[in-house]
Amino acid sequence: MSAEENKAVVRRLVEEVYNDNDLDLIDELVAQDYVNHAAVPKHQHGTEGFKHVNRWARAAFSDAHFTIEDMIAEGDMVACRITASGTQNGEFQGSPPTGKRFSVDHVHWHRVVDGKLVEHWAVRDDVGMMQQLGLLS
């Protein structure tokens, strides 16, 4: 697949799965042997791990939104700079809802093979998010 086709797969992931919360698309976009290097080991593998991580995040931030700021691709790799935002209106890592909003930068790398995501890495500003939610001082 071309770099542009790989970017289209990642764009669908962000816009339709993450933003529209269409978890039915995961089976179409994510390979069965997928590895999410940014997730905890228990949920790093496969489509079920992918779905679990998304349900967990959506339960804490029902209005989560990801804006693609930049996207580049070379070969089977696609990199995105994303602004992630949302309101903590559910339990998050043992903390009750704060009702506070966050907006932080993320950088994600995705490896796409034959039109499906097979690997993912991320660098996120989790400390900044926790500070904005009032969970860290």
Q: Is 92:102 a contact under the CB 8 Å cutoff?
A: no
Its domain, for residue 122, covers 3-132
- 47 within a domain of the structure (yes/no): yes
**pTM, entire model:** 0.93
- 17 within a domain of the structure (yes/no): yes
- 137 within a domain of the structure (yes/no): no
- For the domain that residue 34 is a member of, what is the CATH number? 3.10.450.50
Side by side, the strands of the sheet bearing 101-113 are 30-36, 116-124, 101-113, 77-87, 65-74
The residues pairing with 72 across neighbouring beta strands, listed in sequence order, are: 79
Summarize the confidence of residues 65-73 as an average pLDDT.
Answer: 98
The domain tally of the chain equals 1
pLDDT for 7-59, tens place per residue? 999 999 999 999 999 999 999 999 999 999 999 999 999 999 999 999 999 99
pLDDT for 85-130, tens place per residue? 999 999 999 999 999 999 999 999 999 999 999 999 999 999 999 9
Residue 115 amino acid letter: G
- 82 within a domain of the structure (yes/no): yes
pLDDT number for residue 1: 87
pLDDT for 59-68, tens place per residue? 999 999 999 9
